[in-house]
Structure 1
Amino acid sequence: MIVSCLTVIIAPSFDSYSLEFNYLSHSITPSSSIILAQSSKKSEESLTEEDGEKTTEEAEKDSVEVQEADVLVDGKAIFTIKTSLGELSPESRAKTAMSNLEDVAQNNAITPEQIRIVNLKELGLVQADDTIIITFAEEDAEAESLTFSEFLNKRREEIENAIIDYRKARTKTSISQGIGKAIIATIIAILSLYLLKKVLPSIFDRLRAWQRERLDSVEFQGLQFISGRQVAQFISFLFTVTRIFLVFLVFYIYLPLVLSYFPWTQPIGIKLLSNFWDSINLVISGILSYIPNLFIIAVIGLIAYYSIRFARIFFNAIGEERIRINGFYPEWSEPTYNLIMFFIIGLSGILIFPYLPASNSAGFQGISIFAGALFTLGSTAIVGNIVSGIVLIYTRSFQVGDVITANDKAGRVLEKNMLTTRIMTPDNEVITIPNATLLASDITNYTASIRDQQRPLVLKTTVTLGYDVPWRKVHEVLINAAKDSEGIIENPEPFVLQTSLDDFYVAYTIKAFTNTPEKMALTYSKLHQSIQDKCNEADIEILSPHYAAIRDGHQITIPENYLPSDYQAPGFRVESLGNSRKENNHNQQEQ
């Protein structure tokens, strides 16, 4: 309403200013117009003679660069000028025509019936009284595919209608109608804002209630990516942005609509509305023109989706051993599926890329080049680890749950992915080893023979005893100790190997079997305890022969609970040298 009142108040000043400006700058007599046209023609001929060396290609280039210009009255296009006239471009011709046309329209002494056509040699003038509105040449008619007379009559009718509409728009009746329309538009705008204030909060309250019930947080495989509070904040932000946008949209439609109801501000209103609808048309036409590309993208996406689903079903069947392929192990099904899924997604992305909006733009290509360079320079270690991970998978070095020793670290495999492998040591330490490092090291797998060949793991330990202990007795004691150990299986039976005969002792290696490699450290401990108990029961001392050779008279190393109740440590035996000689002589005589 305020806009409409201001428009009516300041309108006369616009008219007086326009009259003064047009009178000073665009009043032209018929003779001066003819002279201008002739001079323009002469200047064109002189330019042609001076530029005779210009090539035909350059002339065609200049003609292509000529831009069309609309002749506007109150913001409405009356007709379009498509060609130049001498040195006058279509834009300058349109500006002069608009100024002259406005002068004639503001001069109520000139009636529309006074507008006539004056034919000159190769030129046609549209003239009202003594004012030349515009000059046309035969090239203008050729651009419209009309004869020169038809073209001039058409333009004269368009100019007459424009003058009639111009004067009609400035009558009291039209202004009153404009004020009425502005009031109605204002009421509609106020009602729209009121409805937005009432309706939007209720819509977003329902959205918040739905979010609290159905979308409290965003999680994937137990990992929370977005909390409920963040989702609520996003909905509040969306509400604020939507409200601001709709309020701005109401004002953007309301303001140019009101301005278009009054002749003095009609060009501004029409321009704003034209920009608004051009934007909407651009979006809609862009969407419509993008539908074929969207259809191709949808087809590629569907093919990729169902290919991945088929691969999932097929490799699940292999993993569950419902489908058997010679040389393809069930544990390969999951990583092979991941590789095929990655390949399908990558190939789909390559096929879809040319059909994306702005895929050929310089900005999009620059970002693609930057991302490619960044990946190339920073992904050497990543690619190395990925390749190493694939090699480890298909060489079947280990699986998740296996007990291994790698890179001087022993433990159970917790996780194996494309980049790293995580193992847990017996001390509950989780160690992450890059796949490239793992591939370069020796890997000992304690579980593979049990899983793949149903052959138990061999545990071995070595005991060194002196030559004074009978080896058969040692074998029996060690085997019994292994059989009584927790974690050692009965079949196959344990056995003993004499691995070396050294200067002072014999090395005995006991080998036993177990099916629980994850308890290997505990099983070794139980085996060592059992060997100690059994050797003590059999009166076998486990000590260094060097020590035993020089010992005399000391307490035996066997624990007291294994010794007889009347056991006493022997004392030192001391004999004289003479008695020793007599005993030796006596022994020689008896012999």
Structure 2
Amino acid sequence: MRNGFRMLISLMLMSLAIASSCLHAESAQPDSGAVERTAVPTVTLLDRPIVSLRATVAGVSPEVRRDRAEANLASLNRTELALPVQWISTSLGGDTGVAFRIGNHLVFSYVANDREPGDSTPFDADVRNVADRLQQAMAARRDQMHWPVLIRGAALTLLATALLGMLGWGIARLRAWAYAGMQRILEAHLLSRTSRGFDWTGTAYHLARQLVQLLALCLFTLLLYLWLIFVLERFPASQPMGSRLGAFLLGMLNRIALACVEALPGIITAIVIFLITRAVHAMVNNIFAAAVRGRLDLPGLHQETAGATRRVVVLLVWALGFVFAYPYLPGSQSDVFKGLSVLFGFMITLGSAGIVNQLMSGMVVVYSRALKRGDFVALGENIGTVVSIDTLSVKLVNVRNEEITIPYALVVASPIVNYSRHASDLGALVATTVTIGYDTPWRQVHAMLLAAASRMKHVAMTPAPFVVQRALSDYYVEYELMVAIADPTLRPLALSSLHAEIQDEFNRNGVQIMSPHFMAQPEEPVLVKPGQWQGSGYGGT
């Protein structure tokens, strides 16, 4: 109970601070004419403005005249405050005007030069308005000195405070009821949950709990603000402040309502634009889906590029939709919205240079149709099967079952060798090169290479292996063996098997492979005899 009372007092003080800051903000943003008016000395009584004084009368400045008038009004007793306001015509220092009198007290004078420049109201009507405001201020001062009025205001304040306490208790009970209901829903969901994946229920529960707490706080703050207005208007001395607080609340609600009404056509237009954009998006998806399945033939569109083209077209469609809808969004024409747009654009421009480079490089790779998912390719020094062509990179899986992610910028900067593209037509070929001295007949070298190719693993029947003499160097002849394999993805294993068979075949026939290079011809060929193929300690044949 004590904590609740302390919280109530704290919220009351916070409401007073908010109210005073709102009034200060409202009075701190006038136009240029209002700034000039607030600088004019004004006679007030109990925070009620009576008359503004602008003229210097008989050498007395407006500020001094205001101070004297407020001192005269403060000196009136309760009986004098009940007297009617009278005024008589007078002339002071050449200025014609009137002097306001209450009983035997001359309160202040009001001359024609005190009026606001450009005011076309007749002077007599202006004098009567000043007299009415003075009479009302005196009545409020008299009521403020009347104990029954203060007692009635205090009683109404206590009644309003009790009502505020009950309403606050009701808000607290509603908040607790909402918390309990959300807790029951969460527990029921957890008990019936079957999936082991990530569940958004806990996050949604915390968000809903925060929203309920914020809503309860806003509602209680509004009630506290209304209570403050009611209490201030019960006492004559604080009634002007209560009226200003009420006017501020009504003005703010009026501005919010007008802003909502004015924004409604723009919101409807933006919704219509987004619905049309969504319909165009669905149409584009259907067209490209038909093109990928082969039911629709579009010029220049291939199955390899259909996915990327669809994403580009969809991005352009939504970009155009947002551009068309942007002017109709509420607040889009405000300086704050424009400033944030410029800031975000500047940040994206500075931070997305690398991303844009990757995207453009990816477009080059995709539209060149150099590779697709499932191809066995070589990208620079990396050889493997393409498993994914993403937005910013290509993923390969090599023969060691390692996944390699290569950014598009590196893919574009290096040659792309696709071993699978023409494998179905001409067969997937593997090639290896050997260098043999001139003392070995080339026909024998061809026969040995073809014999080694016939015994290798993963060899295809067609096309038949063949040998090409690539160069006649100073010390040796360079031979290249071409062999077709059944599956391009077995290229590393096929090359390993081919190399082993070539070594065995050349060792079996006593022909030396000229690698590494020799500075002089050795007396005996450098080779491994068949009886030593398994090495020492391994045995076998």
Structure 1 residues 545 and 298 mapped into 2: Cα distance closer, same or farther (>3 Å)?
closer
Distance 1:211 1:144 in 2: 68
1:330 and 2:303 are equivalent in the alignment: yes
Note the alpha carbon deviations across 1:182-214, whole angstroms, 9 max, x for none: 232122111112112211022133334545677
Distance 1:408 1:263 in 2: 90
* Contact 2:508-2:529 within 8 A present in 1 as well: no
Q: 2:467 — aligned with what?
A: 497
Distance 1:95 1:206 in 2: 63
1:230 offset after TM fit, Å? Answer: 5.0
Structure 1 residues 300 and 248 mapped into 2: Cα distance closer, same or farther (>3 Å)?
same
Structure 1 residues 260 and 393 mapped into 2: Cα distance closer, same or farther (>3 Å)?
same
1:295 offset after TM fit, Å? Answer: 4.0
Give the alignment partner of residue 182 of structure 1, picking from 157, 162, 171: 157
Question: Which letter maps to 1:391?
Answer: V
SS in 2 for 1:386: helix
* Contact 2:46-2:137 within 8 A present in 1 as well: no
Q: 1:544 — aligned with what?
A: 512
Structure 1 residues 254 and 65 mapped into 2: Cα distance closer, same or farther (>3 Å)?
closer
Structure 1 residues 206 and 156 mapped into 2: Cα distance closer, same or farther (>3 Å)?
same
Q: How does 1:174-573 map to 2 (within 5 A)?
A: 174-210=149-185, 230-350=203-323, 367-449=340-422, 456-461=427-432, 467=441, 477=451, 480-481=454-455, 485-486=457-458, 488-490=459-461, 492-499=462-469, 507=479, 509-514=481-486, 516-525=487-496, 541=509, 543-544=511-512, 550=524, 556=530
- Say which is worse superposed, 133-142 or 169-178, in terms of deviation: 133-142
Distance 2:500 2:249 in 1: 90
* Contact 1:411-1:423 within 8 A present in 2 as well: yes
Gaps of 5+ in 2: 6-30, 515-520, 535-541
* Contact 2:85-2:134 within 8 A present in 1 as well: no
Distance 2:80 2:156 in 1: 31
Distance 1:93 1:331 in 2: 90
Q: 1:85 — aligned with what?
A: 54
* Contact 1:494-1:513 within 8 A present in 2 as well: no
Note the alpha carbon deviations across 1:194-250, whole angstroms, 9 max, x for none: 11221102213333454567799xxxxx996x9665555544544554454444444
* TM-score, normalising length: structure 2: 0.69
Question: Which letter maps to 1:409?
Answer: N
Distance 2:532 2:478 in 1: 20
Q: 1:30 — aligned with what?
A: none
Structure 1 residues 556 and 525 mapped into 2: Cα distance closer, same or farther (>3 Å)?
closer
* TM-score, normalising length: structure 1: 0.64
SS in 1 for 2:179: helix
Structure 1 residues 285 and 98 mapped into 2: Cα distance closer, same or farther (>3 Å)?
farther
Give the alignment partner of residue 127 of structure 2, picking from 152, 175, 187: 152
The alignment covers a number of residue pairs equal to 480
1:439 offset after TM fit, Å? Answer: 0.9
Structure 1 residues 440 and 301 mapped into 2: Cα distance closer, same or farther (>3 Å)?
same
Distance 2:351 2:65 in 1: 59
Note the alpha carbon deviations across 1:20-58, whole angstroms, 9 max, x for none: xxxxxxxxxxxxxxxxxxxxxxxxxxxxxxxxxxxxxxx
Question: Which letter maps to 1:200?
Answer: R
- Say which is worse superposed, 389-398 or 108-117, in terms of deviation: 108-117
1:373 offset after TM fit, Å? Answer: 4.3
Structure 1 residues 140 and 302 mapped into 2: Cα distance closer, same or farther (>3 Å)?
farther
Note the alpha carbon deviations across 1:301-347, whole angstroms, 9 max, x for none: 34443333333333333333332212211232322232233334444
Distance 1:93 1:396 in 2: 91
Question: Which letter maps to 1:261?
Answer: R
Q: How does 1:106-121 map to 2 (within 5 A)?
A: 107-111=78-82, 113-116=84-87, 118=89
Of all paired residues, the percent bearing the same amino acid is: 19
Structure 1 residues 461 and 237 mapped into 2: Cα distance closer, same or farther (>3 Å)?
same
1:395 offset after TM fit, Å? Answer: 1.4
* Contact 2:470-2:478 within 8 A present in 1 as well: yes
* Contact 2:141-2:237 within 8 A present in 1 as well: no
SS in 2 for 1:328: coil
SS in 1 for 2:417: strand
Distance 1:223 1:454 in 2: 46
1:123 and 2:123 are equivalent in the alignment: no
SS in 2 for 1:439: helix
* Contact 2:420-2:428 within 8 A present in 1 as well: yes
SS in 2 for 1:448: coil
Gaps of 5+ in 1: 3-60, 217-221, 561-591
- Say which is worse superposed, 154-163 or 333-342, in terms of deviation: 154-163
* Contact 2:386-2:395 within 8 A present in 1 as well: yes
Q: How does 1:49-88 map to 2 (within 5 A)?
A: 66-67=36-37, 74=46, 85-86=54-55
1:353 offset after TM fit, Å? Answer: 5.3
Q: 2:19 — aligned with what?
A: none
Distance 2:313 2:186 in 1: 36
* Contact 1:478-1:496 within 8 A present in 2 as well: no
Note the alpha carbon deviations across 1:257-307, whole angstroms, 9 max, x for none: 323312234344444444444444444444444434434543443444333
Question: Which letter maps to 1:495?
Answer: P
Distance 2:384 2:510 in 1: 31
1:405 offset after TM fit, Å? Answer: 1.0
* Contact 1:85-1:137 within 8 A present in 2 as well: no
Distance 1:390 1:93 in 2: 81
Q: 2:11 — aligned with what?
A: none
SS in 2 for 1:86: coil
Alignment RMSD, CA only?
4.9
SS in 1 for 2:467: strand
